[in-house]
Amino acid sequence: MISVKKNNLHISLAIEADLINTSTSAFDLNALKKSILWQLAVVYNRKTGRYILNISFNLKILSRVSHCTPNKVLFQIVDSVPGNNPAEADFKGLRIKLNKNHVPDIIANKNIRTIPHEIGHLLGWEHPHANAQFQSVNLSAHPLEQQLSEEERQRNLMSQSWYAQKAGIPLNQAMELSENQIELLFLKEHHISLNKNRHLNYFLWWKKIV
Ligand SMILES: [Zn+2]
């Protein structure tokens, strides 16, 4: 489902995911898939500090809920997300609900930040800042995340959009990752945060999805 391999400074991420639309609107899912893959490549196929990231993302378009694979990541287009936010990750990011009102912007690559941000949660990263507090540190995040400087926080992929906006940083320039975050990925053994999701058996999964 998700694998993180480290070879010296080379980090290879491999993620398997499904994509389904359970909203009441129709979308070109092939176009959405193309945008998702491109947006992830922009962030996760590049040098981050001394690390060289590489992502392999396998995304399968589904037409029926019954075809979902519980141990894959699921992108699910839904009619609404609280606060009309573009997306919401639950089950530690295993399911990423996409707000249908924002899907056209994602397809058009006008919104290129939401998808990589949500995948960041899947990789175990928290918002580096506190809730609704500008120039703050998230004290419940890992110490490695708390060490980001204010300047790093303002340009960081894992900060919420309002944080970059409040700092006057265009969202497409607020997509950085820090070496600390990459190191956290190893520290958590990447799997640990994801292993918590092993309880996502069929029953819980189906109960929550429909
Ligand atoms: Zn977030």
Return the residue matching tokens 């898939």: 33
Amino acid residing at 192: I
116 CA distance to ligand 1 centroid (A)?
10
By CB neighbour count within 10 A (0-12 exposed, 13-18 middle, 19+ buried), where does 210 fall?
A: exposed
Ligand 1 centroid–CA 177 distance in Å is 14
Output phi, psi for 57, to 5 deg. -120, 115
Please give the distance, rounded to the nearest whole angstrom, from the Cα atom of residue 125 to the centre of ligand 1: 9
Cα of 66 vs centre of ligand 1, distance in Å, is: 28
User: Ligand 1 centroid vs 156 CA: distance in angstroms?
Assistant: 11
Q: Where are the domains of the chain?
A: 2-199
159-189 pLDDT, tens digit each: 999 999 999 999 999 999 999 999 998 887 6
pLDDT band at 205 (very low <50, low <70, confident <90, very high): low
CATH architecture of the domain 2-199 equals 3-Layer(aba) Sandwich (3.40)
CA of 118 to the centre of ligand 1 (A): 6
**CA of residue 121 to ligand 1 center, whole Å:** 7
- Angle, helices 114-122 vs 29-44, to 10°: value is 70
Distance 113 CA to ligand 1 centre (A): 11
Separation of alpha carbons 97 and 78, rounded Å: 6
pLDDT at 199: 45
- Residues 206 and 129: their CA atoms lie apart, in Å, by 33
Ligand 1 midpoint to CA 83 (Å): 13
Both ends of the chain: CA-CA distance in Å?
22
Give the model's confidence band at 135: pLDDT under 50 very low, under 70 low, under 90 confident, else very high: very high
Tens of pLDDT, residue by residue over 81-132, are 999 999 998 776 778 999 999 999 999 999 999 999 999 988 889 999 999 9
pLDDT at 123: 87
